[in-house]
Amino acid sequence: MKTFNTYFKTFFCCAILAFCLTQISAQTIETIAGGFTGVNGLTLDTEGNLWVAETGTGNDDGKIKVITPDKAVYDAIISLPSYFDTLSGDTPGAWRAYRNGNFLDVIIGGGIHPDAGALLHFDISGWSPGDAPLSLSDAAVTADVNDFITAEGYPESDPYRVAWDDNGNAYVVDAGANAVVKYDAGTGALSVVHEFPPYPNIWLPFPPFVDYVPTAIVRNPAGGFYVCNLTGFPFPKGLSTVVKMDESGNVTPFADSLNFSVEMDVDAQGNLYVLQLGDFDTTFAPIPFAAKITKITPSGEKSVFTEGFTPVFSSGMVLDGNGGVYVNDLGLGTVMHISFPSAANELALPNLKLVSFPNPTVDFISIQFKQEKPGEVTARLFSCTGNLVWRKELGLLPASTQEIELDLRGQSSGLYFIQITTPNQTAETRVIRR
């Protein structure tokens, strides 16, 4: 896949310094888990478990983890293919897991690896969070997309997302071949049902064409599928689209003028939600807080659902079924939940604002905020990589202006995030310890 990791690694350290607030425009953002290595696709099952794909470090250490409704994190599958691509600077691996009843299907990115580019099938009927994790040896290979695409004469393969029709046939978007591959559940045969042609490059003298790079596919409640794309270098703006595709691979336009689309989901009303990875400036440096989710109605009307929720890039998204959404943060290695208060709550509960002083600090820092309703309050300290350093229960506090002092002694110098959670709101602020 013509991905973004090379650019991200260069500019992340600068962009992270801009990350100071995670509550904007009447939305509440809560970090529910951190410490992920190459966090990517997210899937929510009917039991409220969130399945998270980790590409790993390139040493066959890809994983699928599960976050339970009580926010406990468990390894579900370990030792998945993960390798470092020296040419692109990327680390393909487990891109996303899909819960299908008693089974978990995992799509593995393509590349020079004996187990790369496959759709894997795991029987998890006897597995529960907290049990010993499964591994690659427990998988059945549903489709070896990488070998099929190579045999078809394509220069590269990178299966990235998958969706199923009512007959159990799988449709895989291949971000290396820029095509959609169908797996026939009845015969086991693979076929290319659609190939996306490149765009002529009118932005720079090289390369001569810009790749379409399909990145996500989801079922269209009206029939068929939606497919979106991430454009290749030089990343022209407004060139991403969403198309409708029937089960025979015939494509019709649906929405255009999007940027760097990498994931989609559909709500119960048939509205489509498209995740924008981020954005780049004219020097190809990432623009801070440019990740965005666009809502598109079945008639094609677009509106901003939420934006500015990550410092640089976000590649995974899934709706929570209650009006909110789970997203990832590639740089911090975290998974976050974004929720939106009702209109009544918005009137009763203005945004929680945190004031920290002194900042930068040496040993102690005071956090001031106004608590609108009495209730239990919790403080958490996260490192700049998203790891939870400590958690402190502040107890039952009244509805009033609060000022709490937190002890940072014992922590190394650097950038941290303090998160305050009240019964109704969550907010974070940046703090620098000298």
Please write the tens of the pLDDT for every residue from 166-181.
999 999 999 999 999 9
The predicted-structure confidence for 221-260, as pLDDT tens digits, reads as follows 999 999 999 998 888 889 999 999 999 999 999 999 999 9
Q: Which one of 312, 340, 368 terminates a domain?
A: 340
Q: Which one of 340, 363, 388 terminates a domain?
A: 340
**Span 321-344, average pLDDT:** 85
Per-residue pLDDT at 25 exceeds 60? no
110 and 244 share a domain?
Answer: yes
64 and 171 share a domain?
Answer: yes
Per-residue pLDDT at 18 exceeds 70? no
Q: How wide is the angle at C-alpha 365 spanned by C-alphas 364 and 370, nearest 5°? A: 145
Residue 109 · residue 54 · CB < 8 Å: no
321 and 305 share a domain?
Answer: yes
255 and 378 share a domain?
Answer: no
pLDDT value of position 20: 37
Q: At a CB cut-off of 8 Å and minimum separation 6, what does 269 contact? A: none
307 and 372 share a domain?
Answer: no
Q: Which one of 282, 310, 340 terminates a domain?
A: 340
Domain count, the chain: 2
Phi-psi region of 432 (alpha: psi -120 to 50; beta: other; left: phi over 0): beta
pLDDT value of position 68: 97
* Burial letters 94-119, b for 16+ CB under 10 A, else e: bbbbbbeeeebbbbbbbbebebbbbb
Q: At a CB cut-off of 8 Å and minimum separation 6, what does 87 contact? A: none
Least Cα distance to 236 among 282, 273, 274 occurs for 282
351 and 333 share a domain?
Answer: no
Beta partners for 227? 217, 243
Phi, psi of 146 (to 5 degrees): -55, -50
**Span 144-153, average pLDDT:** 96
pLDDT value of position 123: 97
78 and 167 share a domain?
Answer: yes
134 and 39 share a domain?
Answer: yes
Per-residue pLDDT at 347 exceeds 50? no
The predicted-structure confidence for 385-423, as pLDDT tens digits, reads as follows 556 788 889 999 998 999 999 999 988 888 787 888 887
257 and 294 share a domain?
Answer: yes
The predicted-structure confidence for 49-102, as pLDDT tens digits, reads as follows 999 999 999 999 999 999 999 999 999 999 999 988 776 677 889 999 999 999
Tell me if the pTM is above 0.85.
no
pLDDT category of residue 21 using cuts at 50, 70 and 90: very low
**Domain residue limits at 139:** 5-340
287 and 357 share a domain?
Answer: no
The predicted-structure confidence for 268-313, as pLDDT tens digits, reads as follows 899 999 999 999 888 888 888 899 999 999 999 999 999 988 888 9
Mean of all residue pLDDT scores within the chain: 87
Coil, helix or strand for 126?
Answer: coil
One-letter amino acid at 207 equals: P
Q: What is the CATH number of the domain that holds 83?
A: 2.120.10.30
pLDDT value of position 340: 83
336 and 353 share a domain?
Answer: no
* Burial letters 11-22, b for 16+ CB under 10 A, else e: bbeebbeebebb
pLDDT value of position 386: 59
186 and 276 share a domain?
Answer: yes
Q: What is the CATH number of the domain that holds 369?
A: 2.60.40.1930
